[in-house]
Amino acid sequence: MEVLWAPWRMEYILGEKEKECIFCVHKRQGTDEENLVLYKGRLTGVMMNKFPYNNGHLLVFPIRHVFCLDELNPEEMTDLMLKIRASISFLKKEMNPDGFNVGLNIGKVAGAGVEQHLHFHIVPRWVGDTSFMTILGEVRVIPEHLKATYRRLRPYYDQLLKEEG
């Protein structure tokens, strides 16, 4: 029997689970970097996934706590899509992926980890990024530390905030 060690997963397994909504960033304690928040706008936020599928895995969400798309007003829907587009552009410039998976899971049965606050996933993809580790060992290899990726992406969102005034 082969053993694959992934000790960093213990933080997630044994760690204290979030009691409050991770997307209600205006209520969170700590710095944006500690919370992996890249952007907090009037209507939309962007944060990195703490347990990513790949480097640069982003979560784009409405600031207002809503469950489903039909709860968004047209301004929120438009702003969400604009931030998804901007995020993809930033990832292309900084990380040069070959493609993206973009989507949302509505409801626990559909795979939503945080089912009460709507959020989109943006996952950069590279040719060959699914290796034998994922296929055989059910282990993902994330080659860059989350904080390093955060520091690479944050300037793009700082510039976006400046442009929005």
What domains sit in the chain, N to C, each tagged with a CATH number?
19-160 (3.30.428.10)
User: Closest Cα to residue 91, out of 100, 78, 103?
Assistant: 100
For residue 60, the one-letter residue type is: V
pLDDT at 9: 59
Does 28 or 23 have the greater pLDDT score? 23
Question: Residue 98 pLDDT more than 80?
Answer: yes
User: Closest Cα to residue 6, out of 130, 140, 132?
Assistant: 140
pLDDT at 29: 76
List the catalytic residue out of 65, 119, 121, 145. 119
Question: Residue 135 pLDDT more than 70?
Answer: no
The model scores a pTM over 0.85: no
119 counts as catalytic: yes
Q: How far apart are CA 47 and CA 37, in angstroms?
A: 4
List alpha helices for 15-144, DSSP H: 74-95, 132-137
* Mean pLDDT estimate for the chain: 84
For residue 87, the one-letter residue type is: S
Contact 59, 39 (CB under 8 A): no
pLDDT at 128: 76
Question: Residue 17 pLDDT more than 50?
Answer: yes
Question: Residue 70 pLDDT more than 80?
Answer: yes
Confidence of residue 144 (pLDDT cuts 50, 70, 90): confident
User: Closest Cα to residue 127, out of 92, 85, 93, 96?
Assistant: 96
Question: Residue 161: which H helix or E strand, with range?
Answer: helix 146-164
pLDDT at 136: 44
Confidence of residue 77 (pLDDT cuts 50, 70, 90): very high
For 119, other C-beta atoms within 10 Å of its C-beta total 23
